[in-house]
Amino acid sequence: MATLPADIVAASRHRLTVAEFQRMGAAGILAPDDRVELIAGEIIDMSPIGSLHAALVARLAASFSQRLGESAIVWVQNPLALDDTSQPQPDVTILRPRSDFYAAGHPGPADALLVVEIADTTLPFDLEVKVPLYAAAGIPEVWVIEALSRRSHVFRRPEAGRFLEGDVVEPDRVLACGGSMAGRDALAGIEITLGSLLPQT
């Protein structure tokens, strides 16, 4: 079968907006159980969720819920509308509290206090594609956690499309939320040691 030259393929791409992506879901073009997200205008298949990935998400969500109570919303694998062309589904997002729990519309960057991605097979994509998108949207803090090692890549202080602070936290070190940043008092004092939270087996 003949294939089109790369430049023709690139020119023929149609980048979707978040509104078009949502209409596809409403029309049934995307099934409720389709694991996809919209990244920079393209529909990206998400990796199947393995048992370790699921356990880490559940353990983190439970820990945040216990510590935060009603001072924030723990948003698990739900959409976050970054801009007109990107609507990822982070593994865990800590959101500003709202009485309707965002029933009126998906939360946006101004609503997010912390985004957490769990990476098993997706580490390069998370670090090279998603983290810059989160920085460009002004998400104040992002963690990318390597599932197997429990090592965490921590990014803070977005400015001009990139994070000014970055660190790699080993699983035996305390992972502290940057709660002192403006408007993020709910996260102040929240500390997690991933090696203890879910030890390696």
Query: Which residue's structure tokens are 């660190």?
Result: 167
Query: Which amino acid type is present at position 82?
Result: L
CA distance 90 to 14: 24
pLDDT of residue 29: 83
pLDDT of residue 100: 97
> pTM for this one?
0.87
| Chain-centroid distance, C-alpha 93 | 6
Tokens for 60, please give them. Answer: 């983190």
Spatial CB neighbours of 10, under 8 Å, sequence gap ≥ 6: none
CA distance 149 to 144: 12
Spatial CB neighbours of 107, under 8 Å, sequence gap ≥ 6: 75, 80, 81, 93, 95
Domain 48-197 listed as CATH 3.90.1570.10: yes
Angle at 189 between CA 61 and CA 99, to 5 degrees: 55
pLDDT of residue 193: 92
- Kindly tell me the burial class for residue 63, based on how many C-beta atoms sit within 10 Å of its own C-beta (0-12, 13-18, 19 or more): middle
C-alpha distances (whole Å) from 73 to each of 27, 134, 157, 187 are 29, 19, 21, 11
pLDDT-flagged residues of the chain (< 50): 1-2, 4, 8-11
